[in-house]
Structure 1
Amino acid sequence: MSTPKKLPLLIQKEEGVEYRKQCEHHHECMQAIRLILDGEATTEQIAHFKANINHCLPCIENHNLEVTIRQILCDKIQQKPVPEDLIQSIRTQILNKTSEVK
């Protein structure tokens, strides 16, 4: 069985820091957060996220929510081996369906 993927830590809010209550780039930030957590972000997306995260309360909260959801899913999901005959049956059904479409 493979080792579980290590997830990033939650971002802690600092006392005395003035945080924005609304994010001007919500869609872009959410996309960047997901790509960063998936390990698929570009250097530009990572740079945008790092520049924005220190003062944006919605981004901190959304990042922490995404991390928490992923942690819960990793804790709940059990990786079990799939029987080879089931794999072959699914492949056969897929091949049959794609040949019917042609």
Structure 2
Amino acid sequence: MGMVAPDAAQRAMEAKLQAMRPKFVAQVTQRLFALEDLRDMHEADPGDERIRAELIHGAHKLAGIAGMFGEPDLGELARVTENALGQHDPEALDRLDELLGEMAIIATEE
């Protein structure tokens, strides 16, 4: 069995990722709604650590997959949001709102 040329392998991987893009957009949409609900719950009860933990986990998961689908800025924003929430940064909700805005843009694509 011969080796696949690096360019051909890269093109094949890019084609697979592009084919999966609609699924990524659907996941972003689903996560957007879930994070919006959690954000509202957190705003109503900022001391509930379970809600904060779910927000952190949601941002973490988003950060993990965003770069793979050609959204490195979204991934970085998700990481910044995750860290801000985890450190009880006073600007955490601003970061979360920014993240939700970026997710909304992606959710309306395609």
- Asked if TM exceeds 0.5, the reply is no
Larger helix proportion of the pair: 2
Larger Rg: 1
TM-score, scaled relative to structure 2: 0.30
